[in-house]
Amino acid sequence: MAVISPETVILKPRTDKREYRRIVLPNSLEALLISDPETDKAAAAMNVSVGYFSDPEGLEGLAHFLEHMLFYASEKYPLEDSYSKFITEHGGSTNAYTTAEHTNFFFDINADYLDEALDRFGQFFIRPLMSSDATQREIKAVDSENQKNLLSDAWRMGQLQKHICSKDHPYHKFSTGNWDTLEVVPKAKGLDTRLELIKFYKDNYSANIMHLVVYGKESLDKLQNLVESNFKDVLNIERGKICFPGQPCSSEHLQILVKAVPIKEGHMLRIIWPVTPNIRYYKESPSRYLSHLIGHEGVGSLFYVLKSLGWAMSLTAGEGDSSYDFAFFCVNIELTDSGHEHVEDVVGLLFKYIALLRNSGIHKWIFDELVAICETGFHYKDKIPPINYVANIALNMQLFPPEDWLCGSSLPSRFDPSTINRMLDELTQNNVRIFWESQKFKGCTDSLEPWYKTSYTIERITFASIQQWVEKAPNECLHLPEHNIFIPTDLTLRQVEEKVKFPVLLRKSSLSKLWYKSDTTFFTPKAYVRIDFNCPESKFSPEAVVLTDIFTRLVADYLNEYAYDAQVAGLYYSIQCSDTGFQVVVVGYNHKLRILLEMIISKIKQFEVKLDRFSVIKETTMKDYQNFKFQQPYHQALYYCSLLLEEQMWPLTEQLEILPFLQADHLMKFYPCLLSRAFCECYIAGNVGSTEAISIIDHVEDVLFKSSHATSKPLLPSQHLTNRIVNLERGLGYYYPVEGLNQTDENSTLVHYIQIHQDNIKLNVKLQLFALIAKQPAFHQLRSVEQLGYITVLRQRNDSGVWGLQFIIQSTVKDPAQLDNRVEAFLKMFESELYEMTDDQFKSNVNALIDVKLEKFKNLREESAVYWREIFDGTLRFDRRESEVAALRELTKQELFEFFDSYIKVGAPQRKTLSIQVYGSRHSTEFQSTIRGSSQPQNCQIRDIFSFKRSRPLYGSFRGGLGQMKL
């Protein structure tokens, strides 16, 4: 029997109705049970306090590899991939991750199947099977995962920071592993990786260092019975708590300036100090206090000054890599070209600000503001999907006492200036490591990091030299922030006038349309406001698209120091381009929401082009566009797919061609044109009354359309924008071969897209059901068995109401044409599996999909995103889920077979396919062969995207004018 801990009072949010219970099994496995009778998804997570720090020497990545292997099979369930298949077939998902000192496994599933899922999950930790065949294949998957990271600056620079540390500390290690570390090197040493894997599992996976969270609709007593029966046999070998005392950095690794060459364009400065870990003093929260001030963006802050000087584009501050024994405090500054030339001044200003904090003393009012923000955030925290909730808590269980498992370090409560000062005293010139990344260092380095091949050089810097930087840095007016006016104090819930299930069209005019949904579900003091500015001039040309982008970035830039306090206080906003112009979103506590929104509209109305900021934002935009070529190849393939399918989409190459020639006066002339005619599609939901919602939009109309110097006029009926989609030809397969934009990337990618239908409830559910049934078999065959690549996905695609199916595979082992053949071979193989499906299996899959559709929204953002999609696409099926559930209940197995035979089966008469084939450097020869090849009768090569688009008919659009008429 498990031991219940009634004395443990777990702190939970005031609004949280769930029940919690801590238990300890006889084998010392500690578990938290969460009973939520309202949940439609169950979930569980197991955190094992073993990570890559424990990897044996010469077997780098073994802990991560073990994480992969436990998914395969167990003695009780020996069929390979049966765990993942069961979870997927019952509406769930699985994942895991490995960090320095933890491996965390988690899943969710439709709530009725928790018992069976836990039975399978528990076997990970009781009697897993690690067959020789699976071991060999999964080493390739780990290698493929590493291949996708090789050109990622985040991975490269993270490993460089680890590399320039003491070789005797495990922080120095390579975490993920690859083919060499898990196959080649062990074999050369006479080691059998599988035997080493089993030994590592037996030596480290012990019940007494495991923490389990189980979340279900059952009572706490029933959940306890499930945990006891499924985890009582987890072996406890009394593994001692694994500790890695000592600091990763000795004196030789401090007072250094590391110049490194990144993959992407741009300049990044990272100033890092080893510090006492915040977790030792999480109630006092010294790291939170200091990161709040050093990372602040309001007037007088370090970032405000750097931005005013034109030297920085972003700044973040806070604790980075950490454990109970060590931590790093990091300040990351994204520099402009000008900032790159003033790095000594930038570092000098940072140390000036730190000196200001020392001289100003530690202020209780600042700490009290943080406490107020954190307490409100905790007690009114949105519900998140159970799978994320359990994974987070399972990790917290290892780090915090039981009473703080839910809040972790998010609730500072003890004001102790001496603790904060101790950490502040660690942020010195003697203790610093500076990493400076720029492509301008190419050819000026003398070292190579061994795992990711990052070029770098190390220079020593002294206290005296940094002090000189401080003394010569500009004398700017750095000061502490003002009081935060956006901290909400009115958290009362509005009286709901009329309980409605779906959004209602509250008002429409020639200027705007307002959709409204009161909060009848979440009962939180939060609101969601979205305004889509439909501006025809924004899509007129590639130049217009770029200028619209710069306009939205500039408005956000002008708002930054004012709106930063709002975001700190839990009120978030964004302004960015959309398919029809640009959109403004404000979401968070409703108390001060209108103040922020009205300021945003004011900035749009009074927009001016400030030459210094235009120059910086243009530079940022240029780098963002240029860096697209360094995105993962599968992102590039998805971009080409959209470019081929969407009528209103200009190519990035043309935007890049235009951007260097754009000047401030181009935007000055463009801005009045952009807003000369506009229409506002609006959605307001949450803790806002209908009268207030109308008042908010009245204000927008008054400012932009009705003032004495009106910025905008209403759209003419012919000007309402629509995004129409290319209708592919039945019975014909198109393919578009293209070289990857970054030819140092060996990865190739295939996106195999099957276009099926325009929004239709019955066809929708057939597609969704097929995708549910085929998803795990596709992953198992193409990824686990054939080992084509780590990224292997089958999912639905929806382009403005045009539905389809797409396979996404990223690979170094086969070129895209071969990947395309493997997808077709899978579909042929899967035919028999589909046709052999029993009535019970069919019913089970239908019920699983129904359960997914009936899943309740977790929070206001999630609900709003779904309803906004209906509004934006023009489909307006707010009852979509109910309608599709009704259609599913009537669907027959034969109808599903007929759907497959008509639209998906290889060679089907109505099948319409488009294969995007992005060739990496490893397959350049195959690319040349492909483009020289001639099209086959049923397989047509696209040689020019725009000729192809002009040659094809388009689907009609659901978006119309004022009356939502279809075009």
Residues belonging to the active site:
67, 138
Give yes or no for a contact between 31 and 212, defined as CB atoms under 8 angstroms apart: yes
Torsion of CA 932, 938, 944, 946, to 10 degrees: 180
Those residues with Cβ within 8 angstroms of residue 679's Cβ, 6 or more apart along the chain or in another chain: 510, 511, 512, 513, 533, 534, 714, 715, 720
CA distance 732 to 942: 12
- Encoding tokens for residue 869? 């999609």
Helices and strands in the chain: count of H runs, count of E runs: 32, 29
Give yes or no for a contact between 815 and 739, defined as CB atoms under 8 angstroms apart: no
| 643-678: b (≥16 Cβ within 10 Å) or e | bbbbbebbebeebbebbeebebebbeebbeebbebb
The answer to whether the Cα torsion of 480, 482, 488, 489 is positive or negative is positive
Question: What single string gives the DSSP state of each residue in 718-735?
Answer: GG-----BB-PPTTEEEE
User: Phi and psi at residue 904, in whole multiples of 5°?
Assistant: -115, -35
Q: Count of residues for the chain?
A: 967
Residue type (1 letter), 717 = P
Report which of 167, 174, 164 is spatially closest to residue 143, judged by C-alpha positions: 174
Measure Cα distances from 332 to 273, 303, 441, 445, 554 in Å: 12, 11, 19, 22, 22
Beta strand spans in 744-801 (E): 748-758, 791-799
Question: What single string gives the DSSP state of each residue in 244-275?
Answer: --S-S--GGGSSEEEEE--SSSSEEEEEEEEE
Give yes or no for a contact between 653 and 670, defined as CB atoms under 8 angstroms apart: no
- Encoding tokens for residue 809? 């595979």
Report which of 240, 272, 276, 238 is spatially closest to residue 256, judged by C-alpha positions: 272
Those residues with Cβ within 8 angstroms of residue 733's Cβ, 6 or more apart along the chain or in another chain: 911, 913, 914, 915, 938, 939, 940
CA distance 816 to 800: 27
Under DSSP, is residue 444 helix (H, G, I), strand (E, B) or coil?
Answer: coil
Torsion of CA 839, 841, 843, 846, to 10 degrees: -140
CA distance 56 to 200: 8
- Encoding tokens for residue 430? 């003697």
CA distance 457 to 259: 5
CA distance 602 to 595: 11
Residue type (1 letter), 12 = K
- Encoding tokens for residue 403? 């009473």
Partners of 34 in beta bridges: 20, 215
Strands 327-335 and 312-322: what pairing? Answer: antiparallel
CA distance 891 to 886: 9
Measure Cα distances from 517 to 512, 591, 686, 714, 878 in Å: 17, 18, 7, 25, 11
The answer to whether the Cα torsion of 14, 18, 23, 27 is positive or negative is negative
Under DSSP, is residue 841 helix (H, G, I), strand (E, B) or coil?
Answer: helix
Report which of 150, 64, 148, 151 is spatially closest to residue 811, judged by C-alpha positions: 148
